[in-house]
Amino acid sequence: MKLHMVSLGVLLVCGAWHTGQLRAAPPEPPSEALMVRTDGMRYEHRLEQSRFNVGAGARDEVEGPYRRVVGHRGAFVVDTVTGATLAVPHAPAVPKGTPVGSDAPQAFTVNPAVHSALVQAYLVAAGVPAAEVSGTHVTTTMAGGGPVSDGVQPSRSTLLWYTTHLERSLGGIPVEGSFAFAALDSTGKVITEGVYWPAIPASVVRQAQALKHRLDAVDEWQAFLARARAARPEVGEAVGEVKIVHTSAGHHGRFEAKAVYAIVARSAARGKAQIVRFDDTGAPVWMADELESTRDSVKQR
């Protein structure tokens, strides 16, 4: 699903994520009642539940697996295979000499905490399972003037809007790959939003809980990391955390969800980061959509 938007001056997208973990003596094994967890619920966002306004002249379009409702203000896109949705405004025409950012939607608030609370309430009311929302993080969209050659200059930039992203967890385990986000304008309407919240089997949740509990024992954790580093030396001394991961919103093959230990490894050559995943034995794991990307990359060479 590729969508292109005209930038307004210099657009800056800034995000902050923080993860941490403390290691202590392992607690008593969780009771059977705590280990049993129902499946992660599937939620498919639809225009009927959305505050996004496609505008006048709305028409339905179908292109392959994608169904769109398109109006003069924007488009609401549904992936009919995965159930993922994305709402995007059309880029406005900007007359020559218009001040940077003056044609853009205005932020609902300059307080990111207020914005996050409102977005969470909106998406949960629409149908995102409240019990699975474990937190939020915010990205910002900003505009700035000046020559491109000068690069990004935060001091000369203006906030356009916040986008709040909901974080998903099941049974105390973070879920990687699910998303639900929205940006609200000054009237409380949606500027842009997207949701992909697939069902997760209860068996995967239990596997992740069991792996996390086992790695709470220091000896087990150290032995596990030794095996993982031997298999993928590029992770170096980095440590990670137990997660549930699933295939991406754009993957049209078989859906997969797995319990993994995920480590963010940085390339020594270019400084780029990659997520390296391991199963409960410390062996590397690749998802179906990652294997397809690898095969495509090889063909392009």
- Mean per-residue pLDDT, 115-119: 97
pTM of the model: 0.80
Q: Quickly count helices (H) and strands (E) in the chain.
A: 5, 14
Residue for token pair 């409102």: 118
Output the pLDDT for position 159.
84
| Three-state DSSP class for residue 62 | strand
User: Which of 29-33, 72-76, 114-118 shows the lowest per-residue confidence on average (mean pLDDT)?
Assistant: 29-33
- Mean per-residue pLDDT, 262-269: 80
User: Which of 9-13, 21-25, 84-88, 123-127 shows the lowest per-residue confidence on average (mean pLDDT)?
Assistant: 9-13
Q: Are 166 and 180 in contact (CB under 8 A)?
A: yes
Output the pLDDT for position 48.
96
**Is pLDDT of 4 > 50?**
no
Output the pLDDT for position 29.
52
Domain boundaries, the chain: 31-91+100-196, 202-300
Relative orientation angle of helices 202-215 and 218-231, to the nearest 10 degrees: 110
**Is pLDDT of 205 > 90?**
yes
φ, ψ (nearest 5 deg) of residue 120:
-60, -45
Burial of 123 (0-12, 13-18, 19+ CB in 10 A): buried
Output the pLDDT for position 157.
76
Higher per-residue pLDDT: 120 or 100: 120
- Mean per-residue pLDDT, 2-16: 35
Ordered DSSP codes for 28-57: PPPPHHHH--PPBPPB---GGG------SS
**Is pLDDT of 7 > 90?**
no
**Is pLDDT of 31 > 60?**
no
What distance in Å separates the CA atoms of residue 265 and residue 277, rounded to the nearest whole number? 10
- Mean per-residue pLDDT, 41-69: 96
Higher per-residue pLDDT: 282 or 272: 282
